[in-house]
Chains A and B, each alone.
Chain A
Amino acid sequence: MLKKAYVYIVFIFLYAPIVILALYSFNDARSRGSWGGFTLKWYVALLNDKSIIQALITTIAVALIASIIATVIGTFAALGIYFMSQKARNWVMNITYIPVLNPDIVTGVSLMLLFIFMRIPAGFMTLVLAHITFNVPYVILSVMPKLNQLNPHLFEASEDLGASMIYTFFRVILPEIRAGIVTGFLLAVTLSIDDFVVSFFTKGAGVNTLSVLIYAMARKNVSPAINALSTVMFVIVLLMLIIVNKRTKNEEILN
């Protein structure tokens, strides 16, 4: 009984802010203190706000482009790491973990400095490059366990039967690690949509992702449209996470 109550309390703490945010996105009253009845007008306002639509397009474009490129780079990186000697492999895997654990703000600032140093003008390009950078380790970490599960003789068996390296990769290895690659890709998309800090430091003037735009709007006078926009983002990320978790669970059952 007490145990259950404890779980509920934790959930309330975790989700109360989001529930309130979502509730207020349907609030007809402009003030935050009162409830003025149910409305969808803030969502309609979102659709009519060009800057918001533009930010949404940018967010999705960055997420997709960066995730696809990161997935390709990450998959081949994982393959490369798999074929390293045990010692080199441990070394590289530890290096792979560093960006994951590194505070976003450090990643963001250092990327910004790098782009300035290399005289790459900040804009959509730098945003994509930054997102690729922080996504690659997650792809590697999703693909690596799949590779480790493989029977190491599969490569040799395929080669033994006359297959080239490329044929082996596409016909034997890829189908085996596909689940890990898709999980890595979905994770990358989620993280990309979710990201604020790195985007904030690496985007150029006039290029906004949703999270950056919300931050800018919140600093000015607050329109309840922010609530609607934040709710939309929350739902998107939540859906993505549910898909990723479902996939992982299904695989566990299969194995």
Chain B
Amino acid sequence: MKQEAIRLENVTKSFDGIEDVLYSVSMTVEKNEFFTLLGPSGCGKTTILRIIGGFEKPTDGNVFFDGKKINDLPPNKRKLNTVFQRYALFPHMNVYENIAFGLRVQKTDDATIDARVTEMLELVELSGYEKRAVTSLSGGQQQRVAIARALAVKPEVLLLDEPLGALDLKMRKEMQIELKKIQRCLGITFIYVTHDQEEALTMSDKIVVLKNGVIQQMGTPIDIYNEPENAFVADFIGESNILSGTMVHDKLVNFMERDFVCVDSGFGENKPVEVVIRPEDIKIVPPDDGMLKGKVESITFKGVHYEMIIDAKGYKWMVHSTMHPLQGADAGMDILPDDIHIMEVQH
């Protein structure tokens, strides 16, 4: 039986009463879950994190921690800790004192502090850095100290606000793996904010996709990638071909002047819909054997695959494939029913 750690109930937030930054957000974070808030900048993901952390108060709605309402609890009374976007380490303290800060606030005895700091430094692989000034550390090392500082007080939930945003690509990949390892190893709940969809897919148990303060979809990475609920999610989570079509009846959709068998139903008959097809789900076949025929406009080598733009009846398809026809040549495209995702038209 899964237990709830944090629950938001119809949380709305507006600043200065002007505009809703968050609109009626409800979500449940379960214990020991790696929970990610994903969305473009300005979607309200950081605001949600700050409301959970206690740095902002919801204009409307409730926040629960372990089933108890914590709307009015100040941050220093909440059993959760934050890793801030730009680390926010205390510049005048060394690594040791930064990590010990929370324990000193709790008036822990020196021996316990010493043991705990040593343990934390081992966890983030910075043993031996105790006496170093935090200002002399690299970005990645500062990030580790920030994580160790937040974990030292044994929070039940750790909030991370784009913690890897300032690191270079290689370092980011390393830290992703390490963060996931730390989360599994300590068995605590992580709530993670990012705008990087790949990062979200790699690390999360559950993802919430946000746009303009409204939840678009909530689910496992696989669900969200394979079954995006609308065109925004489909487009934001990886690249997509999005076309307008008509649902002829259940399991049959018409787009590009042709009927396609699909697996979706329940949209009604002859209703306008949006059709989403992933670039890697399109199979290149000889020109006249395919369901669709187009002209290859460009080919770009992407390492693992080629990225092609194929013009078919005026729509420029993005196709990912390990093989490619010649540029300027005609190509056929096949799409399996399973790979055609139907969505309601967004207003």
Contacts and interface: CB of A to CB of B under 8 A. Distances in A.
Interface of A: 151, 153-154, 156-164, 167, 171-172, 175-176
B38 interface: no
Contact of A156 (B77, B88, B149, B153): B88
Given A156-B82, A167-B105, A161 B88 contact: no
Given A156-B55, A156-B75, A156-B82, A161 B92 contact: no
B105 A176 contact: no
A162 B153 contact: yes
Nearest to A174: B92
Contact of A161 (B74, B85, B91, B101): B101
A161 B86 contact: no
A159 B77 CA distance: 9
A210 B102 CA distance: 51
B101 A153 contact: no
Contacts of A160: 53, 75-76, 81-82, 150
A66 B206 CA distance: 60
Interface of B: 53, 55, 74-77, 81-82, 84-86, 88-92, 101-102, 105-106, 149-150, 153
A157 B76 contact: no
B90 A153 contact: no
A156 B74 CA distance: 11
A163 B153 CA distance: 12
Given A167-B105, A175-B92, A176-B92, A159 B86 contact: no
Contacts, number: 55
A157 B88 CA distance: 6
A32 B106 CA distance: 71
A108 B92 CA distance: 41
A157 B153 contact: no
Given A156-B82, A160-B75, A160-B150, 4 more contacts: A151-B88, A158-B90, A162-B76, A162-B106
A153 B92 contact: no
Contacts of A156: 53, 55, 75, 82, 84, 88
B53 A162 contact: no
Contacts of A154: 88, 90
A153 B81 CA distance: 13
Nearest to A154: B88
Contacts of B102: 161-162
B55 A161 contact: no
A156 B149 CA distance: 14
A153 B102 CA distance: 16
B344 to A, nearest CB: 40
Nearest to A150: B91
Contacts of B91: 151, 176
Nearest to B104: A171
A156 B55 CA distance: 7
A159 B76 contact: yes
A138 B36 CA distance: 48
A179 B160 CA distance: 32
28 contacts: A151-B88, A153-B85, A154-B88, A154-B90, A156-B53, A156-B75, A156-B84, A156-B88, A157-B82, A157-B88, A157-B90, A159-B75, A159-B76, A160-B75, A160-B81, A160-B82, A161-B105, A161-B153, A162-B106, A162-B153, A163-B76, A163-B101, A164-B76, A167-B105, A171-B101, A172-B90, A175-B92, A176-B92
Contacts of B55: 156
A157 B153 CA distance: 13
Nearest to B82: A160
Nearest to A153: B88
- Of all A-B residue pairs in the complex, the 6 with the closest CB atoms, nearest first, are A153-B88, A161-B102, A157-B88, A175-B92, A162-B105, A153-B84
A252 to B, nearest CB: 16
A154 B89 CA distance: 7
From A162, A163, A176, name the one whose CB has the most chain B CB atoms within 10 angstroms.
A162
B16 to A, nearest CB: 9
Contacts of B105: 161-163, 167
Contacts of B86: 151, 153
A176 B85 CA distance: 20
B60 to A, nearest CB: 23
Given A156-B75, A176-B91, A161 B149 contact: yes
Nearest to B159: A160
